C-alpha cells in the first residue's frame, strides 16, 4: 500500500547551522547567481567578487571570518528566499537515490533528518522534492 508520507514529515530544519559551516560546499548556478544578485541589489560580477570563492573553475559561496557561509547571519540564512539550489535541495539530494545509506549518514550531522522511516518512503520524498527544484 502506498504511504502518504510527505517530505516535511521526514525533514524539518532546526536552523542549527551545521550545514552552513566551512568552505567549499555550496556551488552557485547561473540561476542562483542571477537570483541572489537581484535580491542583494547588486550585479552578478560584484556578487561573485565579494561573496564567492572559486573551487576549481566553479564558484562557491565564500566562508566568512566566523567559519560559516558568508550569508549565515544572526543564526539564520540571510538569503533564505533565494538561497542556492544546493541549499534548497538539502537533504533531498541525488546521492540519496544513488545510495540510500547516504540518508542515514547525513542524519548523523543534520538533526532535522528523521531516520525512523522506510527506505522506500525516503526515496519517494527525495523524488518528489527534486521534481520541484529549478
Ligand atoms: S544541519 Fe540540518 S538542521 Fe542544521 S541547519 Fe543544516 S539542514 Fe538545518
Ligand atoms: S546560503 Fe544560506 S542555507 Fe546556504 S550555506 Fe549559506 S547560510 Fe546556509
pLDDT of residue 71: 96
Coil/strand/helix, residue 26: coil
CA of 62 to the centre of ligand 2 (A): 10
Task: State the closest ligand 1 atom to the C-alpha of 16, by its place in the atom list counted from 1.
Answer: 4
> What is the full per-residue pLDDT of the chain (134 aa) written as tens digits?
557 899 999 999 998 999 999 766 799 999 999 999 999 999 999 999 999 999 999 999 999 988 999 999 998 999 999 999 999 999 999 999 999 999 999 999 999 999 999 999 999 999 999 999 87
DSSP per-residue letters across 40-96: TTS-HHHHHHHHEEEETTEEEEPB-TTSBBTTEETTEETTGGG--HHHHHTTS-HHH
Cell of 128: 518528489
pLDDT for position 133: 86
What separation in Å is there between the alpha carbon of 14 and the centre of ligand 1?
6
Distance between Cα 84 and ligand 1 center (Å) = 15
For the four alpha carbons of 113, 92, 26 and 46, in that order, the dihedral sign comes to negative
Burial environment of residue 4 by CB neighbours within 10 A (0 to 12, 13 to 18, 19 or more) = exposed
Residue nearest to atom 2 of ligand 2 (CA): 77
**84 CB-near residues (< 8 Å, 6+ apart):** 26, 27, 28, 29, 32, 36, 61
Provide the whole-model pTM.
Answer: 0.88
Q: Please identify, by atom number, the ligand 2 atom nearest to the C-alpha of residue 25.
A: 5
What pLDDT does residue 44 have? 97
Q: What is the pLDDT of residue 1?
A: 52
Write down the domain spans for the chain.
Answer: 19-82, 91-134
Of 8, 17, 2, the closest CA to residue 132 belongs to: 8
**CB 51 less than 6 A from any atom of ligand 2:** no
Residue 126, pLDDT score: 97
Does the beta carbon of 15 sit less than 6 angstroms from any atom of ligand 1? Answer: yes
Amino acid at each position: 500500500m502506498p504511504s502518504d508520507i510527505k517530505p516535511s514529515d521526514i525533514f524539518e530544519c532546526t536552523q542549527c547551522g551545521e550545514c552552513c559551516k566551512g568552505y567549499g560546499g555550496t556551488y552557485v548556478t547561473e540561476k542562483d547567481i542571477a537570483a541572489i544578485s537581484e535580491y542583494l541589489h547588486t550585479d552578478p560580477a560584484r556578487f561573485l567578487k565579494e561573496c564567492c570563492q572559486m573551487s576549481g573553475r566553479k564558484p562557491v559561496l565564500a566562508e566568512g571570518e566566523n567559519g560559516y557561509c558568508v550569508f549565515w547571519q544572526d543564526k539564520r540564512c540571510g538569503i533564505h528566499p533565494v538561497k542556492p539550489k544546493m541549499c534548497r535541495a538539502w537533504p533531498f539530494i541525488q546521492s540519496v537515490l544513488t545510495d540510500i545509506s547516504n540518508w542515514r549518514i547525513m542524519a548523523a550531522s543534520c538533526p532535522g533528518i528523521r531516520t525512523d522511516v522506510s527506505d522506500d518512503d525516503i526515496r519517494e520524498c527525495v523524488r518528489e522534492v527534486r521534481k520541484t527544484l529549478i
